[in-house]
Amino acid sequence: MLTRSAASAPTPNLLGDDVEDGESVSARRAAASDHERAERLRTIVREHYAVVWRFLRRLGFEPHVVDDAVQDLFLLVLRRLDDVLPGRERAFLFAAAIRIATKMAGKGAREKPVEHVPAPPTPVEGATTPEVLLEEERARRLLMRLLMELEERQRVVFVMYEVEEMTVPEIAEVLEVPVGTVNSRLRAAREDFRARLARHRARTDREVGK
Amino acid sequence: MTTEQPTRLVHEDAEFARLVAASHKEAPPSADVERALSLANQLAPASRWTAWRWFGSNLAIGLAVLGAATAGAVAGSRALRAGDAVATSAVAPTAAPDAPSRPSSADPCAPDGTRESDLPATAEQAPAEQAPAVTTISVNDLAAAPPDPVAVGTRRSAAKALASGAALPRLDRAEPSTPSRTTFAEELALVSAARSAIEHGDAPSCMRAVGEYQERFRSGIFAHEIEVLRIEALFASGERARARTSAEQLLAAHPKSPYAERIRLLVERNDH
C-alpha cells in the first residue's frame, strides 16, 4: 500500500528506496518540492471540497457546522498532506470530517429530524427554472428527513453506501469498524429506510388521492 | 473483503435516485472553496503554469468553487465584514496546536486517533482537553509548512479576510520576497469580484473582472473558475453564441470537470 502510494506520487526519491516503513515514505514525500505539494493540495480541494461538504450535510450536521468543519478539515489537510495517501483521499477526508464536525457540533447542535430546513439551495441565475429548483429543494428536504430518521450509526453507513456509493470495505476503513459491522448496519439501515420511504409514498398517495 | 454487496438503492428505486441527484446539486459556498484553495499558498509560492497544466490533465476540478450562488454571496459579505479579523487571527495563537496531531500519524484514517466514529457518541467520549483545540490549526505549527511569518488564521475569520482581499497589504508586507503571493491575493480578489458581480446580476462588472484576470493572469490559479464565470456572464448578458462556443470548448477540454454539469445546465437553459 505504501509502495503504491509512493510510486504514484511524483516525488523525487532523495532518501533511497530500501526502507519501506511509513516513516521513510513520509520523509521522502516531505522532500517533494513545495510547489508539487501546493498543487496536490489544490487538486484535493478542487476534487473533494464539495464532496465532503455534501457528505457532512447528508449526515445531518447543521449548515454552519458543515461550513466551518470543512474549512477546518482542509487546514488539517494542509498540515497533514503527507498522510493523505494518493488514491485514498476520500477515506482520509471523510474520516477526519466526521470527527471534526462531530466535535464542533457538540451536543444538541445536530439537526433535529423532520423540522429542520436545510440551507437554501444554490440557484444559478438563468441555469434552471424556479420550478425545477423548488422541486430539487423538496427532494433534498425529503432525503434529509428520511436520512435523519435513521439511527445515527446506521445513517452514516447508509449515506456512505447508498449516496456516496462507497464500497463496504471502504466504509469499514473510514469508520474503523469491521466489515461485518458495516454489513449488518447497512442491512438494518436499508430495511429501515425502505420502510420509511414506502410509508412516505403511501402518505403522499393518500394526500394526492383526496 | 466481502463479496456480497447489495444492489444500491439508486439503481432499483428511481424515486430515491431522484432524491440523491438533487442532493448532489447542493454545493458549498464558493468563497469557502477559494479560501481552501488559497491554503495551498501557505505551503509554497504557487507555480501557476504547472498548476494549470495539472488541472488540465487531471481535471476533476471541484465545481464547488462556483457552485453556490446564494451561499457564496452570503459568505462573501461575511468575508468582507471579517476583513479586520486578519490582524487578530493571523497572530492569534491557536489553542493547543498539537492536539489534532496527536494521533497515530501513519494511519490516514484516524486523524484524531479516535476509534470508531459513532457520531454523537464520539463527541461525548472526546477528551475534554482536546475539544477546544480540534477546530483550530495554525500553519506555524505545521511540520509541513515552510517557515512563514504569515499564519493561516485560525478558523474562518482569517481565511475569510484573506478571501476578501483585505489581507492583501498584510500579505505584501509579510512576504516581500515572494511576489507570487501578491499576485495570488490579486487573483483571488478578482475571482471573488467576478463571482460576486454575477451573483448580483451584474454581468458587465463580472466581465470586467474576468477580463482583467485573463489579461493579467492568463494561466492563473483560478483560470478555470474564471472561464466558467465568463461563460455565465456571457449568457447573462445575452451573448449566447459566444457563450455557447466557449462552453463547448470548455466542455471539450474538460469533459469531466465538476463544472461541466453547471455549464451544461447553462447551455440547456439558454437553448430556447
Check CB contact of B57 with chain A, cutoff 8 Å.
Answer: no
Q: What is the pLDDT of residue A115?
A: 42
Residue B61 in this model has a pLDDT that exceeds 80: no
Q: What is the chain B residue with the closest CA to A25?
A: B106
* Chain B closest-CA separation from residue A145 CA (Å): 11
Amino acid (one-letter) located at A86 = P
A68 → closest Cβ in B1, B25, B155: B155
pTM of the model: 0.55
Tell me the C-alpha distance between A93 and A77, whole Å: 8
Tell me the C-alpha distance between B267 and B253, whole Å: 16
Residue A68 in this model has a pLDDT that exceeds 70: yes
Quote the DSSP letter at residue A179.
H
Check CB contact of B141 with chain A, cutoff 8 Å.
Answer: yes
Identify the sign of the CA torsion A189, A191, A192, A194. positive
B68 → closest Cβ in A122, A137, A163: A122
Contact B184, B38 (CB under 8 A): yes
The ipTM assigned to this model is 0.75
Amino acid (one-letter) located at B113 = G
Identify the sign of the CA torsion B37, B41, B43, B45. positive
Which of chain A's residues have a Cβ under 8 Å away from the Cβ of B10? 162, 165
Check CB contact of A153 with chain B, cutoff 8 Å.
Answer: yes
At B270, the pLDDT band (50, 70, 90 cuts) reads confident
Tell me the C-alpha distance between A16 and A27, whole Å: 11
A57 → closest Cβ in B26, B35, B118: B26
Residue A28 in this model has a pLDDT that exceeds 80: no
Query: Is residue B120 exposed (0-12), middle (13-18) or buried (19+ Cβ within 10 Å)?
Result: middle
Beta strands in chain B (DSSP E): none
* Distance, CA of A202 to chain centre: 31
Amino acid (one-letter) located at B44 = A
By C-alpha distance, which of A122, A140, A5 is closest to B33?
A: A122
Query: Rounded to the nearest 5°, which phi and psi values hold at B57?
Result: -80, -35
Residue B68's DSSP bridge partners are B29
Tell me the C-alpha distance between A139 and B18, whole Å: 7
**What's the CA angle centered on A166, arms A78 and B228, to 5 degrees?**
55
Q: Region B219-232: what's the mean pLDDT?
A: 86
Check CB contact of A106 with chain B, cutoff 8 Å.
Answer: yes
Query: Considering chain B, what is the average pLDDT of its residues?
Result: 62
Which tens digit of pLDDT belongs to each residue from B123-154? 334 344 333 333 333 433 333 333 333 333 33
A81 → closest Cβ in B16, B18, B144: B144
Contact A36, A10 (CB under 8 A): yes
Residue A209's DSSP bridge partners are none
